[in-house]
Structure 1
Amino acid sequence: MDTTQPHHGAKVALFLGDQLVSILRDDLPHISYPNLWDLPGGGREGDETTFETLSRELEEELGLVLPHAAVLWENSFQSLTAPEKWNAFFVAQMPADTVNDIVFGDEGQRWALFEMDAFIALPDRVPSYDVRLAKWVAETGGLNL
């Protein structure tokens, strides 16, 4: 994976308190992973940095503004939809009451909060997040509550 080229997109495992926020993707045959639970984020636009991509997508999808200080971890992973490219993957945490600030955008069917283990166990979620979250936990110990 050549990470010297611009990133393809960015995703975030965003914890509100100790709950992970997820979005059920639209059930449209022309999109990747229709009708699966996903994490917020999406594709790069223009010359965006990884954090700019993530911030814009999070605001579009959930109406949330992510402070850079909320980022706990960032890493690079091979894109599932474009294997020759790479995506940024973030883990971030905001206060639990941030849930009250969510304004759901026009992409996806609905959003929900999950315990991390429950999210990983979902049979209908986008693949790879178990590996990415396990790497984060192995490197950092996970959430410090």
Structure 2
Amino acid sequence: MATGYSPRRGGESFDGAKAALFLGSRLLVIRRDDRPGISFPGALDFPGGGREGAETPDETLAREMREEVGLEMARAEMLWRRPFDSATGPGKVWFFVLRMGSEAESAIRFGDEGQGWSLMAPEAFLAAPDAVPALQARLRLWQAL
């Protein structure tokens, strides 16, 4: 994890956080809402979202994971994290790769954002024509390391 980021350091300039979350060997994928006014309506997405207040990237992702799928980030193994330019506007977002055991599937409690969730092989997400392209690129980058 060569990022130089410390979750305790304040003042980090970023707008949000997303995570490729593996449950066993499959990725947890969310189908975005399909309504006007949002980026990538109806697309395949990963858990995560916008920063609130003075949250760190880790705090942002932990809150979003609880809200969206009811999972606790503290239970996940951190595989990688890195800041990227936002795919939807100016600013930075953090991208995480996390892993939990496949048994975490039984703990998923889908929130009120998005149309639903599924587990899929990483290759299927990377090949999906309706996935958020920036997330596909970031996952490919991590796989190439």
Q: TM-score, normalised by structure 2?
A: 0.89
Give how far 1:68 is off: 6.6
* Aligned with residue 51 of structure 1, among 43, 46, 58: 58
The count of corresponding residues between Structure 1 and Structure 2 is 136
User: Does 1:76 pair with 2:73?
Assistant: no
Matched residue of 2:133: which SS?
coil
* Cα distance in 2 between the residues matched to 1:129 and 1:11: 9
Which residue of the partner structure matches residue 114 of structure 1? 120
Which residue of the partner structure matches residue 10 of structure 1? 17
Unpaired runs of 5+ in structure 2?
A: 6-10
In angstroms, what is the RMSD of aligned CA positions? 1.6
* Cα distance in 1 between the residues matched to 2:136 and 2:35: 24
Which residue of the partner structure matches residue 142 of structure 1? none
CA deviation string 1:80-114 (max 9, x = no partner): 111x3110000000000100000000000010001
Which residue of the partner structure matches residue 130 of structure 1? 136
Identity, in percent, stands at 49
User: Does 1:64 pair with 2:71?
Assistant: yes
Unpaired runs of 5+ in structure 1?
A: 140-145
Q: TM-score, normalised by structure 1?
A: 0.89
Match runs of 1:74-113 below 5 Å: 74-82=81-89, 84-113=90-119
